[in-house]
Amino acid sequence: MIVTITPNPSLDRTYELPALAVGEVNRAAHDRLDPGGKGVNVSRALTAAGHRTTAVLPLGGPAGRLLAELLRRQGIGVAALPIAGDTRINVSIAEAGGSLTKVNAAGPELSPAESAALLAQVAETQREAKGAGDGVGWLACCGSLPRGLAPEWYAELVGRVHADGARIALDTSGPALLAALSARPDVVKPNREELAEAVGRPIATVGDAFDAAGELRKLGAQQVLASLGADGMLLIAEEGSWYGTAPVAAVRSDVGAGDASLAGFLGAGGSGPQALAAALAHGAAAVRLPGSVMPTPADLDPTAVTVTADLPLERTLGG
């Protein structure tokens, strides 16, 4: 069992257009409504791959009720904490050429009582999974913190759940990431921009990313799974370091691709080069799908994945 926590979930509306004409009426060729938020996407990808998962979510208002219903229709367990505010709705505009424009709402503000109750909900869900014979498993802590939750909220959560024996995957950024490192999460998954923000300098080469990931490990992260976009991924751990790529000819939508990667990594055991290869295969499959659709095993192309322990440290990153 893999439990996910998304402190600021959303409903995600995606419109596909030939091209966005700013200031004019645009007509979508296709549109989708999906449950959203990084941890939600991880749970969706895990379910698509045949793994059992429960999503812990603070939910409020009609959007929150619809989000929970959409997840249950997909066979995903939902541990919902009712809150006073309304769950946010995000909008993405995907153009045929691969450009993606996103408008993310701020989301509700959680009260101190709701913040404490959410911590308790996660810990209780993890204990229930363990008590049901599902083993210790993973807890994936994903996404930005909503208003009302201090940057140290994830750090407190990691400490509590680690004490119960669970392994922690953390996918967040900024002060929340830095504050949680001292709690020694088992893996953190920054992208290139988040890695640069964490160390306070640009990431221009694979070597820069390797050095920055090493700094996060010194601050407490046990593994760093760094996404470099089209340039692949790095996995830095005590037992070794690996670099991998999975080229994609045409990107349809990159919404949720990083979340699919994390699901692939955790579903493959959460450590080592085989887990990195699974992460790459899932991420590459996700960007070929519309909106935030999560890949199934039939969508994966493991033959397109290359993983090596010989890191190309001088390779310049695109973008």
Active site positions, annotated: 259
Residue 114: both structure tokens together: 């709701």
Distance CA 289, CA 184 (A): 34
DSSP sequence for 40-97: HHHHHHHHHTT--EEEEEEE-HHHHHHHHHHHHHTT-EEEEEE-SSPPEEEEEEEETT
Length of the chain: 319
Distance CA 115, CA 145 (A): 10
DSSP sequence for 82-103: E-SSPPEEEEEEEETTS-EEEE
Residue 35: both structure tokens together: 């449950």
Do 302 and 281 contact (CB within 8 A), yes or no?
Answer: yes
Q: How many alpha carbons lie under 13 Å from residue 216 in its C-beta half-sphere?
A: 38
Strand ranges for 201-319 from DSSP E = 223-227, 233-237, 240-245, 306-308
Q: Which helix H or strand E contains 211, and what residues bound it?
A: helix 206-218
Q: Which helix H or strand E contains 170, and what residues bound it?
A: strand 167-171
Closest by Cα among 91, 110, 114 to 36: 91
Q: Is the dihedral of CA 118, 6, 30, 74 positive or negative?
A: negative
**Strand pairing class (187-188; 167-171):** parallel
End-to-end CA distance of the chain: 37
Cross-strand bridge partners of residue 54: 3, 77
Residues with Cβ within 8 Å of 218's Cβ and at least 6 positions away in sequence, in order, are none
